[in-house]
């Protein structure tokens, strides 16, 4: 399906291009579901295979028996301005933005990182409360987190998890801090999706997705650990993490989105007419 340089249709001249289609995307999603089903459930693989077949057939019919094309009309373009030798063209800012990028202001990624650290503290407190109420031990949830280090056959007993262990404590603390930092950065990167509802994203959508993902994965990785986790309390602690993270984010100042800012300004390049003069520089009198 090669594009022709020029063609005419109905008296109009233009470039003949392949028509847009969503069938390749459907085939790609179906192929991904087939592989994902190998880790989760065979039903997902069957659904992916059906979607991949439909995508392949649809994509094939875009070519045979006739190619689906689209005429892109030609438009007149002003010739480029030729500058005299030894002159530099100044970078100009477009007066009209052809596309509006929303939102105009959003929370920075650092706000998500701060929220992730604050939410990690609350999630740890909720986990400790669960250990006190369910097992009368503050160390049980900490040692249970450290239990992800062991294979199912080497999982410590419940009695051993109820007592303090320095190496388990250090491993669980490092793992918890790392996860809070990574989730906080991911949360901050997703904030432009719901700029007006960070608590909804962090307190409901995020915990549901994260809990469901771990619920499916841990059952295959470590079935014994899966049996010892109280998933209801786990979801509650995740919701507490997200709500506190959202509250922290709402207290941060919003910044302008960078989509409409010229590349020179984002890269920090000095460009007359775009970037403001630095303070303290000598200005012409």
Taking residue 79's Cβ as centre, other Cβ atoms within 10 Å add up to 5
Digit-coded pLDDT (tens) for 188-232: 877 777 667 777 766 677 777 777 777 777 767 666 667 777 878
Q: Which two tokens stand for residue 274?
A: 């775009």
| 236, pLDDT greater than 50 | yes
Decide if 59 contacts 53 (C-beta within 8 A): no
Using the predicted structure, report yes or no on whether residue 282 has a pLDDT greater than 60.
Answer: no
The pLDDT tens digits for 110-160 are 888 888 889 889 888 988 898 888 888 888 888 887 776 766 666 777 788
- Predicted local distance difference test score (pLDDT) of residue 191: 76
Separation CA 46–CA 138 (nearest Å): 44
Q: How far is CA 137 from the centre of its chain?
A: 37
Which carries the bigger pLDDT value, residue 254 or residue 257?
254
- The model's confidence at residue 53, banded by pLDDT at 50, 70 and 90, is very high
Whole-model pTM: value is 0.53
Q: How confident is the model at residue 283 (pLDDT cuts 50, 70, 90)?
A: very low
* Ramachandran angles phi, psi of 223, nearest 5°: -60, -35
Reported confidence tier of residue 238, pLDDT bands at 50, 70, 90: confident
**3-state helix/strand/coil string of 202-262:** HHHHHHHHHHHHHHHHHHHHCHHHHHHCCHHHHHHHHHHHHHHHHHHHHCCCCEECCCCCC
Indicate the class that CATH gives domain 9-73: mainly alpha
61 φ, ψ (degrees, to nearest 5): -75, -15
pLDDT digits (tens, 9 = 90+) for 57-84: 988 888 887 788 877 777 777 776 766 6
* Nearest-angstrom CA–CA distance, 91 and 112: 35
- Listed by start position, the domains of the chain span 9-73, 105-256
What integer best gives the mean pLDDT of the chain?
Answer: 76
Q: What is the pLDDT of residue 50?
A: 92
Residue 168 preceded by cis peptide, ω within 30: no
Q: Which of 172, 154, 152 is nearest to 164 (CA)?
A: 172
Is the pLDDT at 20 greater than 60? The verdict is yes
CA distance 272 to 265: 10
Model pLDDT, residue 18? 79
Helices 23-37 and 42-61: crossing angle in degrees, nearest 10, is: 160
Cα(48)–Cα(101) distance, integer angstroms = 34
* DSSP state at residue 166: H
């Amino acid at each position: 399906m090669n594009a022709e340089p020029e063609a005419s249709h109905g008296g109009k001249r233009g470039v003949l291009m392949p028509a847009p289609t969503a069938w390749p995307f459907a085939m790609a999603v179906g192929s991904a579901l087939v592989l994902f089903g190998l880790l989760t459930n065979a039903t997902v693989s069957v659904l992916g295979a059906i979607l991949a077949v439909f995508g392949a057939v649809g994509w094939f019919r875009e070519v045979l028996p006739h190619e689906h094309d689209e005429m892109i009309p030609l438009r007149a373009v002003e010739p480029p301005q030729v500058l005299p030798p030894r002159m530099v063209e100044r970078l100009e800012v477009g007066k009209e933005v052809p596309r509006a990028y929303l939102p105009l202001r959003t929370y920075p990624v650092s706000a998500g990182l701060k929220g992730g650290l604050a939410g990690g503290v609350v999630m740890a407190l909720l986990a400790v409360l669960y250990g006190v109420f369910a097992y009368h031990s503050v160390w049980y949830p900490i040692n249970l987190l450290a239990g992800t280090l062991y294979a199912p056959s080497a999982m410590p007993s419940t009695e051993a998890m109820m007592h303090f262990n320095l190496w388990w404590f250090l491993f669980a603390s490092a793992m918890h801090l790392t996860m809070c930092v990574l989730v906080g950065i991911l949360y901050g990167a997703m904030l432009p999706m719901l700029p007006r509802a960070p608590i909804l994203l962090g307190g409901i959508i995020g915990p549901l997705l994260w809990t469901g993902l771990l619920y499916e994965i841990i059952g295959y990785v470590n079935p014994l650990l899966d049996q010892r986790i109280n998933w209801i309390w786990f979801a509650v602690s995740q919701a507490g993490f997200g709500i506190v993270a959202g509250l922290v984010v709402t207290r941060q100042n919003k910044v302008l989105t960078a989509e409409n800012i010229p590349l020179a300004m984002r890269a920090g390049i000095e460009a007359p007419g775009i970037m403001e003069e630095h303070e303290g520089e000598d200005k012409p009198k």
